[in-house]
Chain A
Amino acid sequence: MTVTNNAPSGPSPDVAGAGTDVEVAVDLITVVVDGVEMRVPKGTLAIRAAEQLGIEVPRFCDHPLLDPVAACRACLIEVEGMPKPQPACAQVLSDGMEVRTQYSSEVARVAQEGVMEFLLLNHPLDCPVCDKGGECPLQNQAMSVGRPESRFTGAKREFEKPINVSAQVLLDRERCVSCARCTRFAEQIAGDPMIELLERGAKQQVGTAADEPFDSYFSGNTVQICPVGALTSASYRFRSRPFDLVSVPTACEHCASGCSLRTDYRRGVVTRRLAWDDPDVNEEWNCDKGRFAFAYLNQGRIESPMIREHGSLRVASWPEAIDAAARGLATARGSVGVLVGGRSTVEDAYAYSRFARTALATDHIDFRARQGSAEEAAFLSSKVAGAPVSAAYDDLESAPAVLLVSLEPEDESPIVFLRLRKAARAGTQVLSVGATATRSLGKMSGRLVSARPGDEANALRSLDDETRALLGQPGAVILVGERIAGSVGAASAVLELARETGAALAWVPRRSGERGALDAGALAGLLPGGRPLTDEQARRDVAAAWGVEAADLPSEPGLIGADLLEAARDGRLSALVVGGVELADFADPGLAVAAVENADFVVSLENHHSAVTELADVVLPVAVVTEKSGTFVNWEGRPRPFGQVFRDALTMSDARVLAMVAEAMGSSLPADVASIRKEMGALGPWTGARTPAPDTAPGASADGVVIASWRQLLDSGLMQEGEPHLAATARPTVAIVSASMAAALGETVTISGPAGSVTLPVVTGDVLDRVVWVPTNSPGCHIHADLGAVPGTPVQLSAGGAA
């Protein structure tokens, strides 16, 4: 599906003093299109002006988000005073210019018809077996502006079909019209020019270098914008005809970039997902994880409720399981911990938040199924929770400088990366505090602010004057990733830096549900909307909304992070409610397992079998994202509501299941999305005094060689299961070290941490000395489980494979 009829994009206004809402005066010129006089901003392309009048000039290579190339010539129009027809997609209008499209010019009509006939000379016209058939711009435009019949009788060009430009993206070269949309996308938008137009003349074809496939995180976009059926995905090829699909607008569940997607399904099964047009957020792009990683929805699902009997789980009816959960939790009331997964919808997270504080009478709740610190919790509570948008995608684009702290956007929030790359191409200075200048940072023309893992706070507090001055400019932004939790003092230092420089500060979590869970108060000490649990007024607000007495709400902030897990392990908490959490994701998976094992009573709300469901006493199956409606809140704080794809699904959302348990416990919860939204809306954000900001002294990096690490976009994540073509485009698992360390180590290195060791190929990179970068959770290297390490953990390196 190709969407090109965007609102006309005038020249991007040159905003002085970005970040402030200055009305920018746009120079208007007068032009005449098909006899209609109109005023358009200077610099407007003829094709965009025509669109404004509802005139569709045929086009293939034109794409509003790519630089014009005029490669396909389908859009020829007549321009007054020019001897030959001109491509409308590249014709910049000037004042007084008169242009005529096929509607009023015979010259344009004949030219377009000729180009269409020419494009079809070598086109196989295999529409009946082509995935694009039914949504194909070539098919459509051949019908609307082409000749009824071809005069070409020769043999058509043939190619071996298809070839892999990557494991996921396939190319049928004979269908290609050489529009260069795919190659321009790869080069201009993604910064991954691994596909190019090769050869020349009649042999011209898209291709890759011999030994370098198109393994870009954004490769699927080329399939979507290819105006013919030349590029297809292994995942969707030959799966369906477009007219047999039902399409539903959805929001991506994978990360906090918050892409708008379109989910297409057929006979109760999702067949594909597309990036949807959302100019404020993902523009028209998304990443390959969001596009292709949906096979998990149907695999390994828990079919029915289960309860533990004589040591093993058995299938139970819903009433029986609800009753068992309610009885067990009622017994433990006041001594229950609640772990909420990072991909809960805000409605579900709100249900956990309210369920904990009312039915369970506990404040021991945390949504951070990952490394999380008390300092980070204080940072989030004081600065982020329920707070209005501090920086949005637009602000990144207009920022003079953006400082990244513990954040690798291409892996951890791909649309943030795309927007930063776009900004950098227009002059934004990107800076990254970290131990390695990645290729990705290069694509943003970024500069590394060196900090050994653990030394981020010191680096932030000793920025040079030049960097400080960059951040002191109006509109500068600081983006903080979830890994800041692993660096002592870093969150405090960032707050200080933002205060000093006046830069906007935004938190970019990795998972889609974290911001919503924070706003919903799924964190000890924090009630919905950023309300401090210890604030009397806040407690009264919330109690009123929940129909309980303020005095009945917990008044002491509960346990979080490792403290919560330790309490469960040591028997200081007697029960756990765990919703959508993977134990291996915690910094100390052993502690998390021990916590679940040792708790007297564990209720697991899950859609897939997991380490928690193995150990739980009651397992309550819940809906996956296609079976419910809800909202994710992206890093900007922007709600991304989505509807239910499968309306006849038999599963229930976490909120509805919790409502049933609550009812059985004599408490109550709103069960449906509409009521929850209404209740949250009525509560609104907190405007009173916020919880205190953290003020933690800077930590220091450990001596010796330490780990630098983050999760790669495509890795061992469970939601990527079942899509081997996607997995095959992941980056290889390697250890990256400086040139001098690589020289000492040779080809492979064995890295030994507290819990074990891994052996990986060595790659030289722009990494600080005495630092080794490895992926956090990729095949062959899961640092928590395999090494017992987190970023900053000292490790031993030895050359070669000897452990």
Chain B
Amino acid sequence: MAISESTREQLQQLAARYPRPRSGLMPMLHLVQSLEGEVTPEGITACADAAGVSAAEATAVASFYTMYKRRQVGQHHIGVCVNTMCGLLGGDAVYEALSERLGVGHDAPTDDGQFWLERIECQAACTHAPVMTVDWEYMDDVTPAAAVEIVDRLERGETVLSTRGPAIRDFRATEQTLAYPEDGLAAEGTPVDDKMLVGLRIAKEGGMAAPGVPAPSAPTGQEG
């Protein structure tokens, strides 16, 4: 797919947000990914041109970060956290169940191009472990059965709500948000719920406080 003039203009606008155009490279790559469903060589070159770096430098960035894909992702990106907390609490089993349901392994698309399955790293949502993501929106406290059901519903085209965020759209829409965070959806859902505040509540009730920051001139080496 050729990069259109309007895309080039959008890339220029992203470049203009930063004191140095090259700082805009990452949102630019998300933008071309939102338009093409993957980061193509043409997309990389267009980003490189707008960011004022070489195509090789942009390729280095696009290939370093795992959120940039160089094959068609399909309609939905499914992530399963398998880091320590989620893995122990059932993430590995969730991944196995999804892998079987979708017939695909790590970091690959299904044959029909509908889904992309990926083992992902800690999403900073360990309170709700095990965590699964659909198009990078949280699905908290999943079980293997619940995860498979989410996929079934997505496949049937039903509306699926993320646990704490907006209704699931599709991978490209999320990529658009990553390029332009101002999508107006920030207020949807409840990003912070009770479960996440349990620790804070207990701390308040027990009158606990973080230990004071030691004065820089006299480190004690004794903390907590």
Interface residue ranges, A against B (CB under 8 Å): 192-200, 207-212
Contacts and interface: CB of A to CB of B under 8 A. Distances in A.
B55 A207 contact: no
B159 interface: no
B41 A193 contact: no
Contact of B44 (A192, A193, A197, A210): A210
Interface stretch (B23-31, B59-67, B146-154, B205-213): B59-67
A209 B64 contact: no
Given A193-B57, A194-B54, A209 B63 contact: no
B63 A199 contact: yes
> Which 7 A-B pairs have CB atoms at the shortest separation, nearest pair first?
A209-B55, A210-B41, A196-B60, A196-B56, A193-B54, A198-B63, A209-B59
B56 A207 contact: yes
Given A209-B41, A211-B45, A197 B54 contact: no
Interface residues on B, range: 10 to 19
B41 A211 contact: yes
A345 B57 CA distance: 43
Contacts of A207: 56, 59
Contacts of A200: 63-64
Contacts of B53: 193
A200 B67 CA distance: 13
B129 to A, nearest CB: 24
B41 A196 contact: no
A195 B64 contact: no
11 contacts: A194-B56, A195-B56, A196-B54, A197-B60, A199-B63, A199-B64, A207-B56, A209-B45, A209-B56, A210-B41, A212-B56
B139 interface: no
A251 to B, nearest CB: 33
B48 interface: yes
A212 B53 CA distance: 13
Interface in B43-96: 44-45, 48, 53-60, 63-64
Contacts of A192: 54
B45 A196 contact: no
A212 B63 contact: no
A198 B58 CA distance: 10
A194 B53 CA distance: 10
A198 B57 contact: no
Most buried by B among A197, A198, A208, A209: A209
A181 to B, nearest CB: 16
B169 to A, nearest CB: 29
Interface of B: 41, 44-45, 48, 53-60, 63-64
Given A196-B57, A208-B59, A209-B56, 4 more contacts: A194-B55, A198-B59, A209-B44, A212-B45
A214 to B, nearest CB: 8
Contacts of A198: 59-60, 63-64
A209 B57 CA distance: 8
Contacts of A195: 56
Nearest to A197: B60
Contacts of B60: 196-198
A583 to B, nearest CB: 41
A629 B196 CA distance: 82
Nearest to A212: B55
Nearest to A204: B64
B118 to A, nearest CB: 15
Contacts of B59: 196, 198, 207-210
B60 to A, nearest CB: 4
Nearest to B53: A193
A210 B38 CA distance: 15
Most buried by A among B45, B48, B54, B56: B56
Nearest to B48: A209
A207 B70 CA distance: 15
Contacts of B56: 193-196, 207-209, 212
A208 B58 CA distance: 10
Contacts of B58: 209
A210 B70 CA distance: 11
A743 to B, nearest CB: 14
A211 to B, nearest CB: 6
A215 to B, nearest CB: 12
A211 B59 CA distance: 11
Contacts of B63: 198-200
Contacts of B48: 209
Nearest to A192: B54
A197 B55 CA distance: 12
A651 B126 CA distance: 81
Contact of A211 (B54, B55, B57): B55
Most buried by A among B41, B55, B60, B64: B60
Most buried by A among B45, B48, B54, B57: B54
Contacts of A196: 54, 56-57, 59-60
Nearest to B59: A209
A212 B122 CA distance: 36
A513 to B, nearest CB: 36
Contacts of B55: 194, 208-212
A794 B55 CA distance: 37
Contacts of B57: 193, 196
A179 to B, nearest CB: 16
Contacts of A199: 63-64
Nearest to A203: B63
A191 to B, nearest CB: 10
Nearest to B54: A193
Most buried by B among A196, A208, A212: A196
A196 B54 CA distance: 10
Nearest to A209: B55
A448 to B, nearest CB: 18
Nearest to B44: A209
A11 B59 CA distance: 34
A210 B56 CA distance: 8
Nearest to A194: B56
A89 B217 CA distance: 32
A239 B163 CA distance: 64
A195 B58 CA distance: 11
A195 B56 CA distance: 6
Contacts of B44: 209-210
A263 to B, nearest CB: 32
A193 B22 CA distance: 14
A212 B54 contact: yes
A198 B60 CA distance: 4
A196 B53 CA distance: 12
A222 to B, nearest CB: 13
Nearest to B61: A196
A192 to B, nearest CB: 8
Contacts of A194: 54-56
A80 to B, nearest CB: 20
A274 B57 CA distance: 28
A194 B48 CA distance: 12
Most buried by B among A194, A197, A210: A210
B61 to A, nearest CB: 9
A208 B48 CA distance: 13
Nearest to B62: A198
A207 to B, nearest CB: 7
Nearest to B65: A200
Nearest to A186: B56
A197 B63 CA distance: 9
A208 B59 CA distance: 8
